[in-house]
Amino acid sequence: MTEQKPPDTQNKKQIPGRIAEVFARAVSASMNTSSAAEDVRRVRDKYPGLPTDELAQLLIKRAARKTKWEGATNGLAVTGCEALVAAPVPEPSHKLAAGAGALTLLLGDVAFATRMQMQLLLAIATLYDCPFDPDDEEDVYVVFKAALGLTGTERVGSYARFIFTETARKQLRNLLRSGVRRAVQEAVIKVAGRRVGVYLGEKYVMRLIPVVNAAIGYWFNNAITKSVGRWAKVRAKIRSSSFRQIEQIAVTSADALVWVLPIIFHVGTAADSLTDGVLTLYSQCAKRLPLSEEQRGRVAMLIDAEDLPEILEAELPQTSSAEARKALYEIALTTAAANLNPSPQECECVDSVARWLGFASAPDDLNARVQYLKR
């Protein structure tokens, strides 16, 4: 007879899942894809023929303009709260009201800036033809995470503390196969509160300086929004390039789709570590690969294979379509460039993949891909 767990124990185990669900719904409700698409349409109509990168810069400047002036206004309001305690001996009730008012204003400022930055991410993704889906929980987390200023170069905690052993590699393969969404959720929920706390701390400490609150609010929001915008461009280019290559492979040689995820895994873990950007790239591509059940089984086998490099070396040259081989090479380049600072191991790994696919040495190509992402 199966032993029943106490109700309170079951509830405790369900609470994190409920928090994740409520959190995702709240963030999803803040994602206005129609507004983002309208922003893109307007900027395209106003500046016809302007390169996509320049249009993205215009969107970033517009978002920064909104957040910096809101920050300035918010700073003036905080100054008003400080006036309550400017008297030589302020009343205790005045001190309490001033502190509560300042905290409320600062929270509102962070919420406004984060919401604007989320809309900026949506608009830039739409501009580069790789829109996010507010109904997809994982897309919701990716957008919110980027809006908080996380760049994607952060190491995934579980794998940053040690050199990969075979046991660690097996755990990673398990994660990639079945738990990516959960890992992304947990990372965002842990980071969200900490990052908001850092923002509030920085703003509050700076705004203890009388008079200059408006200037500080202006500068802080302007800098954060522009930083988020720069990374929104990088993420959009990574997504756009990868999705475009998947479509190319699907059209020219659908059998070669089984190599997309193994190549991302092989290149992304070449330095015996894993970054959030590579984890997200793997997951986002996995969702968009039009694989049959047989192909899914083949991919799982390849990811689990201890001799994956040998399999890639033996079988990639057999890819019949030149277009598919080129697309697979492009995916390897994008994976290595995703963190904007490829390690020597990643460079060597891309070079090997290039040879297996029948291309020349890759250092110049990889450098060019990094520069494209930074542009």
Q: 74-88: per-residue pLDDT in tens?
A: 555 555 555 444 444
DSSP-derived 3-state class of residue 154: coil
- Give the C-alpha separation, 372 to 355, whole Å: 23
Reported as a single tens digit per residue, the pLDDT across 20-32 is 555 566 667 667 8
One domain, residues 227 and 295: no
Would residue 162 count as lying in a domain? no
One domain, residues 221 and 281: no
One domain, residues 299 and 354: yes
Is there a contact between 80 and 217 (Cβ–Cβ < 8 Å)?
Answer: no
Would residue 4 count as lying in a domain? no
Distance of CA 162 to the CA centre of its chain: 24
Structure-derived torsion over alpha carbons of residues 39, 42, 46, 50, reported in degrees to the nearest 10 = 60
Domain boundary among 191, 206, 231: 231
Tell which residue, 344, 328, 326, 346, has the closest CA to residue 336. Answer: 346
One domain, residues 213 and 294: no
One domain, residues 270 and 194: no
- Give the C-alpha separation, 338 to 53, whole Å: 17
| CATH for 330 | 1.10.3680
Collect all residues with Cβ–Cβ distance below 8 Å to 161 and sequence separation of at least 6.
Answer: none
178 sits in which H/E element? none
Backbone angles phi, psi at 178, to 5 degrees: -135, -15
How much is the mean pLDDT over the chain? 75
Reported as a single tens digit per residue, the pLDDT across 112-131 is 777 788 888 889 999 999 88
DSSP-derived 3-state class of residue 242: helix
Would residue 356 count as lying in a domain? yes
One domain, residues 254 and 139: no
- Give the C-alpha separation, 351 to 123, whole Å: 35
One domain, residues 212 and 260: no
Number of domain units in the chain: 2
Is there a contact between 266 and 315 (Cβ–Cβ < 8 Å)?
Answer: no
Would residue 80 count as lying in a domain? yes
One domain, residues 209 and 253: no
DSSP-derived 3-state class of residue 155: strand
Reported as a single tens digit per residue, the pLDDT across 305-342 is 889 999 999 999 999 899 999 999 999 999 999 888 89
One domain, residues 190 and 52: yes
* Secondary structure E strands in the chain: none
Would residue 170 count as lying in a domain? no
pTM score above 0.95: no
Task: Return the pLDDT at 230.
Answer: 86
Structure-derived torsion over alpha carbons of residues 264, 267, 272, 275, reported in degrees to the nearest 10 = -50
DSSP-derived 3-state class of residue 275: strand
Task: Return the pLDDT at 153.
Answer: 56
Collect all residues with Cβ–Cβ distance below 8 Å to 255 and sequence separation of at least 6.
Answer: none
Would residue 186 count as lying in a domain? yes
Would residue 160 count as lying in a domain? no
One domain, residues 110 and 245: no
- Give the C-alpha separation, 295 to 259, whole Å: 10
Chain position carrying tokens 């919110």: 144
Q: Is the pLDDT of residue 181 over 70?
A: no
- Give the C-alpha separation, 7 to 17, whole Å: 16
- The tokens describing 306, both together, are 């201890």
One domain, residues 217 and 306: no
Query: Which residues span the domain enclosing 112?
Result: 21-153+181-231
One domain, residues 64 and 81: yes
Amino acid at 127: L
Chain position carrying tokens 């408006």: 214
Which of the pair, 231 or 161, is modelled with greater confidence? Answer: 231
